[in-house]
Amino acid sequence: MHYEGNPIRPPSEAGSIILQVATGCPHNRCAFCGAYRGLSWRTKPDETIEADLEFASRYCQRQDRIFLADGDCLALPFPFLADLMARIREKLPRVRRISLYGSGRSMAGKSGRELAELKRLGLNRVYVGLESGDEELLAKVSKGCTAESMIEGAVRLREAGLFVSATVLTGLAGREGSERHARLTGRALSRMRPHQAAFLTLMLVPGTPMHRDATGGRFVLPGPEEMLAELGEMIKNIDPQARMQVHANHASNYLPLAGRLPRDREAILAAIEAARSGATPLKPEHLRAL
């Protein structure tokens, strides 16, 4: 397979074929993200994509899922994506799930008809980086889209029959904005109604604006106990009737969690409190990673 840089994929795509059809991210200005620094956003050459599909058809015969990298591949033109889905079905007929990243901007750029057609052609899952439900915070960290646009986009994805996974970033507001971040994010998830809510923990990446703010004393990263308290508040602010998977299984998290809302709501909150009290050990810093 031909990879440029270090393709990023969600934890649930660990066993997937990673097909890098584009490099970089069309936005690439989020203050907390260093994943695509130095990479320009462009589609990979067709001959490279074709060669990778041929490689996968020969050597990845036990894998039945594909993740399309890099960042925000939903932003790629509809004709390109439709053709790519058809090529995947032709060369990798055993593949049952195709997934990619999407943003508020790229979701708005696809019509309901186009989303439904991509679903028909094989697209199954879209990972949406909500990060926070706090509009002021999203603007501050240069997210490039609003929580409202991501909520509206997620609703349109669900209407097209696509699985929606929403990513949230604890610690993003620092100590000062933690309570507001938690409250508004829980409310945003209530409206978004993703099939899955994935909680990551902020790690400061050297070279990013947020890392520079922390080094200069303009941003204070919450400690482990504070991060867990914030996570608990997010869960508490999700509508008690909302149905979604909850995962905190990313390498950045201090406490691995998994469950379903509303069924496991109290068990998840109890696990968080046990970790905050010291009854459950947290992941050591040296084992955390992006």
Assigned domain for 4 exists: no
**At 15, is the pLDDT very low, low, confident or very high (cuts 50, 70, 90)?**
very high
- The count of C-alpha atoms lying within 13 angstroms of the C-alpha of 234, restricted to the half-sphere facing its C-beta, is 32
pTM over 0.75: yes
Does residue 284 register a pLDDT over 90? yes
Assigned domain for 2 exists: no
**At 6, is the pLDDT very low, low, confident or very high (cuts 50, 70, 90)?**
confident
DSSP string, 76-142: S-HHHHHHHHHHHHHH-TT--EEEEEE-HHHHHTS-HHHHHHHHHHTEEEEEEEEE-S-HHHHHHTT
Assigned domain for 143 exists: yes
Assigned domain for 6 exists: no
Assigned domain for 43 exists: yes
> How many domains would you assign to the chain?
1
Assigned domain for 279 exists: yes
Assigned domain for 16 exists: yes
The CATH number of whichever domain residue 252 belongs to comes to 3.20.20.70
C-alpha R_g of the chain: 19
**At 38, is the pLDDT very low, low, confident or very high (cuts 50, 70, 90)?**
confident
Domain with 94 in it: 11-284
DSSP string, 178-232: HHHHHHHHHHHHHHH--SEEEEEE--PPTTSHHHHHHHTTS-----HHHHHHHHH
Assigned domain for 67 exists: yes
> How much of the chain exceeds pLDDT 70, in percent?
100
The per-residue b/e assignment along 85-122, b for 16 or more CB within 10 angstroms, e otherwise, is beebeeebeebeebbbbbbbbbbebbeeeebbbbbebb
Tokens of 188: 């945003």
